[in-house]
Amino acid sequence: MRRLIVFQHISLDGYFTDSNGDMSWAKQDSDEEFNAFSSQNAKAGGVLIFGRVTYDLMAGFWPTKQACESLPIIAERMNNLPKIVFSRTLDKVSWNNTTLIKGDLVTEIRQLKSQPGEGMAVLGSGSIVAQLAPRDLIDEYQVVLNPIALGAGRTMFDGIRQRLGLKLTNSRTFRNGKVFLSYVPARKQRYHHGTS
């Protein structure tokens, strides 16, 4: 069974986007140490999963010359890895190696998880996280806590109506103040074999 992880940058006050839907603040305060970590993490491979809003943001940045020059390893992976965008409003996708799925998110993810192949990672896309987490479909939450308070925005758990027990499995603090935290659902802890 394929694993599904969530990788998310969040602010100290818990938001993954600001009140305007912007996620670019997460690229601030990067340094050599954190960029090396991000590049190593990007090499893990797998299938990237997005909702429409995050897809639009990512597709508007990663294929650009700026992204390819400033973060070449990550840009190469983002542009070439297989990607799935879940949207009922998009009619077509133009970013390299992207598949558009209009079907029911939970049903489609269950089917994808049951297939053989590399793992999958949800990037951004809080509405996807909020729909999948209560249904026990996320195996690991990788969070980068950023030393910034946004004051308002969206959390990656917007819409969850029940408590979600998590167990910390890994952490790392970077010189730039960012903190990487890895959690698994508490009931899956005994099956966890470490993080990538």
More confident residue, 46 or 86: 86
> Which pLDDT score, from 0 to 100, does residue 188 have?
60
Q: What is the pLDDT of residues 22-50, one digit of tens each?
A: 888 887 777 888 888 877 776 666 899 99
Q: What is the pLDDT of residues 150-179, one digit of tens each?
A: 999 989 888 888 888 999 999 999 999 999
Q: What is the DSSP letter of 69?
A: H
| Domain range summary for the chain, segments of one domain joined by + | 4-177+184-191
In the predicted structure, residue 90 carries a pLDDT above the cut 50: yes
Looking at residues 119-142, what average pLDDT do you find?
A: 90
Q: In the structure encoding, which two tokens stand for residue 121, read together?
A: 């990672």
User: Is-contact 9 16, C-beta < 8 A?
Assistant: yes
Distance in angstroms (rounded) separating the CA atoms of residues 165 and 163: 6
156-165 long-range CB contacts below 8 Å, 24 or more apart? 156/6, 156/8, 156/10, 156/16, 156/126, 156/129, 156/130, 157/126, 157/129, 157/130, 157/133, 158/126, 158/127, 158/130, 159/127, 159/130, 159/131, 160/130, 160/133, 160/134, 161/134, 162/134, 164/133, 164/134
Instruction: Give the helix ranges, DSSP H, for the chain.
Output: 32-42, 52-61, 65-70, 72-80, 105-114, 126-132
Nearest to 105 by CA among 82, 126, 138, 128: 128
Provide the CATH number for the domain formed by 4-177+184-191 in this structure. 3.40.430.10
Distance in angstroms (rounded) separating the CA atoms of residues 130 and 161: 9
User: Is-contact 79 63, C-beta < 8 A?
Assistant: yes
